[in-house]
Structure 1
Amino acid sequence: MNRADAPVAGWYPDPGQRTRLRWWDGSDWSDHRRVGPRPADLLEPGEDPAAKRSWSTAAAAPAPGREVDITSAASAAGRAASGLSREDTSAIVAEVRRATRRELDRATSRLAEQAGSLRTQLEPMIQDYGRRFLRWARRAAVIAIVVYVLYVVATAQLQTSLFDWLGEQVDKVIDPDGS
């Protein structure tokens, strides 16, 4: 199929799973999927007014990644569904916006409370682990110093005994009778 024969971009039945819709971008299938329409939605728009209404709202779904103006979408859907006036639709949209703002403010304050609670729980734990780490680091430093001192003493002892032994061997070579 060449590009001129390709269908326009839109939602089409998914070739892999016919009960779902998949977005065709005009040249290839995208990874965007959604639930397919009900069997009543698949009737021809002229057959049943309820099917026509649901078909028009399903077909008007936005492309993935595209933004939709909520005011115009709400007013169009409102007029199509129940014949609401522009003022009624604007009032509904304003109320939805107020409710959304209240919910957002409530969620923000709850998140701030949880963050404060988490902070009060974490600070003592961090301080406790900090003290434990310092205690462990001090003990490790003391052990390292003791091991180093033992190494130096053992090395010095070994060197003196080696020099003494070498001196005796040299004396034996120079004066084999020991006189």
Structure 2
Amino acid sequence: YPDPQSRTSLRWWDGFDWSDIRRAPPSNAELIAAEQLREFFADNELVAAGRHAGSQAAAGMSRQDSQQMVEEVRMAARQEIDRAAQQFSDRATTAVRRVTPLISEYTNKLTKWVRRAVVISIVLLAAYFVFQVIAQKSFLDWVGDRIDSVTDESGQAVAQIDT
């Protein structure tokens, strides 16, 4: 409202008394914008009135017809939701089947390396035992040959003198 103390500003009236809130009078741009807003809301009220008339025409349907229409829409929506849920479930199941867990992948690699190490260890251990048997046999043969060359057939020691 125009300020009663100063005609160059506007002042807020709170319904009981003048408040301390003041502002300058609106500019021409603000007045034009306010006029455009009024026109916009007036046009929207006409559109809303047209919608109201359309809803009144739809209201001419019987209650049973409108309930049947609502039920058909609900059924269609439920069927679409069920179809989408089934499709999502199928895709999720397919994705789960395609993915191999990392733990099994690494476990398979670890198992393969452990098996290789065990096989190599067994082969090396068998080779060691074979070597030991052969070495012991040849060593005992060598010692036996030396003992035979030191004694004669009667069990007496033979002295060999090398000159």
TM-score when normalising by structure 2: 0.38
Of Structure 1 and Structure 2, which has the larger fraction of its residues in helix? 2
Larger Rg: 2
| Larger relative contact order (CA 8 Å, sep ≥ 6) | 1
